[in-house]
Structure 1
Amino acid sequence: MTSNASRAAAIDSAALQRLIGEGRGPRLLDVRTPGEFRTVHIPGACNVPMATLREHRAELLSHLDEDVVLVCRSGTRAAQAEAALAEAGLPNLRVLDGGMIAWETAGAPVNRGSDRWDMERQVRLVAGSIVLTTGLAGLLVPGIHLIGTAVGAGLTYAAVSNSCAMGMLLAKLPYNRGPRTDIRTVIAALRDKP
């Protein structure tokens, strides 16, 4: 579990599968981007991207009165969502320990859509391309290699702070956004879920 996730009670994949199998499954909120959600998600999960959750958390509270498990890729964004919802006064929050990575590794059921690169892989591609390009261009243009150094510094800060500015920027691309998340649609989905 990530250090950020230590605030919320965590639930592992086996325990969550058991609850779902017994018909006592909690409300599942997947806080990844709509693009990530469409690629793979836990059956019955409702997609409430982080930006939507932060902006409309007060509106969501009245629809989240039961136990809630927050899901993301690895647990980091879910822990951030937990902090935002807990600050707004929502009790009974848990974070899926290890996120979708752990869920899939455990062989738990998923709904799959079209395959796409996850955010971490996209960040590695963009950062690596910038470093490679500026490193090679630095042979011809003095000083341009410092751009790659700045990207390296940004990645180091991202690791230390457990946040990623490049990932947040990439999440805004149409490829990652998918259809715009409308709060009325999210609330309707929350009302329709048992």
Structure 2
Amino acid sequence: MACFFKRFWRVLVLAFGLMSSASCSQATGDFWVSQEKLAELVQSSGSGLLLMDVREAWEFRRGHIPGSMNVPLSRLAGHTAEVVAFLSTRPDLEEILLICNTHNRSRRAKEILAAEGLELRMRVLEMGVTGYERKKGG
């Protein structure tokens, strides 16, 4: 019986993960920013782009993409209204690029911010800081 519940739980987790990933596309189909496009986006967007790193503070201190601001996902969930209010005070802000280690927490942060009513364009850096470090090193 315990084996049945383990299998059931795995199927449930897998199904939830698939449903969650299915919600990752925006109406325009413009959800991801590739590592190759990162530098171009930063240069072309100027102050209209916010690089928001949603990793924990200790991860951010260990290394981050230059110019990014740290807003840990663990704190975002409890302070979403305040973060959205702050972002809404920046008239020059046009887009947020969400960053984490790979892209899972960034996807979740996007869902949280959108649910709170943030209407800015939000995209996720594909493979996050892991991909950035890999590309930088090689």
Question: Which one of 54, 58, 71 corresponds to residue 77 of structure 2?
Answer: 54
Aligned position for 1:27: 50
AA at the equivalent of 2:51: L
- Match of 2:52, SS state, is strand
Question: Which one of 72, 85, 100 corresponds to residue 100 of structure 2?
Answer: 72
Aligned position for 2:24: 6
Q: Which one is further off, 45-54 or 12-21?
A: 12-21
Aligned position for 2:116: 88
User: What is the distance in 2 between the residues matched to 1:95 and 1:47?
Assistant: 15
Aligned position for 2:128: 99
Residue 23 to residue 89, structure 1, CA distance change in 2 (3 Å): closer
Paired residues for 1:27-46 under 5 Å: 27-46=50-69
User: What is the distance in 2 between the residues matched to 1:63 and 1:19?
Assistant: 23
Alignment: residue pair count:
107
Normalising to structure 1: TM-score of the pair? 0.50
TM-superposed deviation, 1:62 = 2.5
TM-superposed deviation, 1:15 = 1.4
Overall identity of the aligned pairs, in %: 33
AA at the equivalent of 1:79: R
- Match of 2:86, SS state, is coil
1:15 aligns with 2:43: no
Segments of 5+ residues of structure 1 without an aligned counterpart are 109-194
Deviations 1:6-30 (A, max 9, x none): 3351111221211223453610111
TM-superposed deviation, 1:33 = 0.7
- Match of 1:70, SS state, is strand
User: What is the distance in 1 between the residues matched to 2:111 and 2:50?
Assistant: 17
- Match of 2:40, SS state, is helix
Larger Rg: 1
